[in-house]
Structure 1
Amino acid sequence: MSNSRERNDRGQFVETITPAAVVDVLRRAETPVVTAKEVGEELGYTSEAARQKLLTLLDEGTVARRKVGGGAVVWWLTAESPPVSTAFDPDDPLFANPPTFASGVSDVSHNVDEYVADAVANNHDP
């Protein structure tokens, strides 16, 4: 993670951890509760950044929390958490920066199905 945060064209900081990403981490967790540290590690950010986003989600009623001793706090999704979104995110890097499949010799994007079929059949270009 970079020390300098990205800003938009109005000079405001760009959101780095989205609420959807945090909710996704909680949904995929192997345990019923997670810590902010676990969320931060999963997303590649600090536990404090994750905690701040979790607090926002707490205010919205999406997550709940409980102190379990010492300074430990666990978080979980509430019944009010939003359903899994299947909405198209145009800012997703997969769509914003799609691979071109250009090999330098020819653009294989026009015949990807043929290349995949050959690979599955174990046929290789000489």
Structure 2
Amino acid sequence: MGEQGERPRNTDGQYADRIPPEAVLDVFDDREDMARPLTAGDVMDALDCSRRTAHNKLSTLVDRGTLETRKVGARSRVWWVPMPRGPESRTDERPLPVTNAIQDASLPGSGPTLEARREALSAAYDYLAANPEAKKADFLRDVYHDHPAGYESPEAWWNALHPALKDLPGVDPPAERGHLWHFLGGD
């Protein structure tokens, strides 16, 4: 074999990879501030490896889609773990306070039933946003049938949903029964 301390080689005579790319992920997991991006120097220091090795490992993880990177100067680059979008994240332009209010709305039920009722509330909100003046009958006609949320009658559906709907941002409920609901905006 070789001298003691020489890096091991594989069967092709190349240096065996003693630092797997997953070791770099441990460096990201060990950060105190999970939002802080890392530099190749941070990885070098943590893994006691060369700059080239750090760059190679980081590049491998970017190629796999595990990390993201961008240049931050003429010769500087940072890497970070991308944050996945949760199921409550929407691809439309609904403001986050509205999405959070729908998620936090007081609706009866739990599990899939509660989720169906949140979807019904969301559909009612979207309907009002698209139709800024609507009556109860409009919601029952245009929203209930596509989003019954486990309710057997439109009246039971409305009785459960309208208290939550009136608390959503930008919703102006009528002062009296039978009058128009108004949409003032989602912020």
Q: TM-score of the superposition, structure 2-length normalised?
A: 0.38
- Structure 1 runs (4+) deviating above 6 angstroms are none
Q: How many residues align?
A: 79
Deviation at 1:70, TM superposition (A): 2.3
Q: CA shift at 1:79, angstroms?
A: 4.2
Q: CA offsets per residue over residues 69-107 of structure 1, 9 Å max, x none?
A: 121100011247xxxxxxxxxxxxxxxxxxxxxxxxxxx
- From 22, 25, 29, the equivalent of 1:23 is 25
Q: Indicate which of 41, 44, 52 corresponds to 1:37.
A: 41
Matches within 5 A, 1:1-126: 4-31=6-33, 32-79=36-83
* Residue aligning to 1:95: none
- Runs of at least 5 residues in structure 1 that lack an aligned partner in the other structure: 81-126
Q: Deviations over 1:14-33 (max 9, x none)?
A: 11221111001011123420
**Whole-Å Cα distance in 2 between the matches of residues 3 and 37 of structure 1?**
24
Q: In the alignment, residue 26 of structure 1 is paired with which amino acid?
A: F
Taking a change above 3 Å as real, the CA distance of residues 41 and 3 of structure 1, as seen in their structure-2 partners, is: farther
Q: Deviations over 1:6-64 (max 9, x none)?
A: 11345342112211110010111234200011101110001221011100111000100
Q: Which runs of 5+ in 2 are unaligned?
A: 85-187
Q: Look at both structures and tell me which one has the larger radius of gyration over its CA atoms.
A: 2
* SS of alignment partner, residue 72 of structure 2: strand
Distance 1:38 1:3, change over 3 A: farther
Q: Percent identity?
A: 39
Contact 1:36 1:47 in 2 (8 A): yes
Tell me which protein shows more helix as a share of its residues. Answer: 2
Give the 3-state SS of the residue equivalent to 1:69 in structure 2.
coil
